[in-house]
Structures are given as structure tokens and as C-alpha cells.
Amino acid sequence: MSKQGISLLTLKVIAAGALVANRAVTAAGAHAATDIYGVTAAPGATGEAVPVDVVGAVAIESGGAIPAGTKYVIADAQGRAIVGGTVDACLGKVVPGQSAGGAGEYVQVLLTPTV
């Protein structure tokens, strides 16, 4: 899968440490499994302003296999998408037809902002 996506809103965070592109990030600028703000649109070093897609269908790196038909994904501690979650506790909804055979691949996810 390509790393292309359709971002509808991109904001910035200040990186608290090194950030990798196409991974979930918090508003505090760190990759994490919880309190997700969006998905990094570019890499960044500590202290840099990094663009983060917060609304849209974006490509995100997988942290493991994501079978076709998977409905929801959550983030692992490195900010990669993994299978799991419910509509109320997820990173996003996998775009139909998307899958990943293992870690390091990319899937399109419709970001599902949570309050």
C-alpha cells in the first residue's frame, strides 16, 4: 500500500523526541498507544514543529498483521496501527480492502477522533 492519503485537516505539534512519519502521535509530541491526537505527516526531531493529520483518511504504519476486513485499529506504544478497539476507543476505521501482512507495512485508516 502506498503512503498516500487524503488529509482534511493538518495541524502541528512540537516533537518531544524523534518522531517517525505515518505513526500516531499525542498532542504533547510523542508516539504513544493512548491519548492520540493524529498521525504524523512527516518525521521530526526534538523541538521541531511536525505536521500531524488529525482528520481524514491517512496511511499509517502497521505494528503487525492487519487482516482484510479488520474494522478498527488502535495504536501500539510506538504509534503503529494494530488490530483492536471499538468505535469508542480506536485510532480509526480501516478503509475497506486494506490489509497488512506484518509490521512495517502501510494501511489506509479513516481517523476517528475521540473526545
Is 75 within 8 Å of 36 (Cβ atoms)?
A: yes
Q: What is the pLDDT of residues 63-106, one digit of tens each?
A: 999 998 898 899 999 999 999 876 666 888 999 999 999 999 99
Gyration radius (Cα) of the chain, Å: 12
Q: Using pLDDT thresholds of 50, 70 and 90, give the confidence band for residue 11.
A: very high
Within a domain: 45: yes
The DSSP result for 30-85, as a single string, is ---SSSEEEEESS-B-TT-EEEEEEEEEEEEEBSS-B-TT--EEEE-TTS-EEE--
Identify the sign of the CA torsion 65, 13, 110, 22. negative
Within a domain: 75: no
Q: What is the pTM of this model?
A: 0.92
Within a domain: 23: yes
Question: What is the residue range of 40's domain?
Answer: 6-54
